[in-house]
Amino acid sequence: MRIITLKRLTEAATRYPVVRPKIEFWYSTARPATWANFAQTRTALRHADQVAVKSGNIVTVFNLGNAFRLITAIHYNRKCIYILKILTHADYDKDAWKDTL
3-state secondary structure 31-84: CCCCCCCHHHHHHHCCCEEEEECCCCCEEEEEEECCCEEEEEEEECCCCEEEEE
34 Cβ contact partners less than 8 Å away, ≥ 6 residues apart: 1, 79
* pLDDT tens digit sequence for 62-82: 999 889 999 999 999 999 999
* pTM (two decimals): 0.93
Residues 6+ apart with CB under 8 A from 92: 61, 69, 71
Residue 60 burial (CB count, 10 A)? 20
User: CATH number of the domain at 2-100, please?
Assistant: 3.30.2310.20
pLDDT in tens, 8-33: 999 999 999 999 999 999 999 999 99
Q: Residue ranges per domain, the chain?
A: 2-100
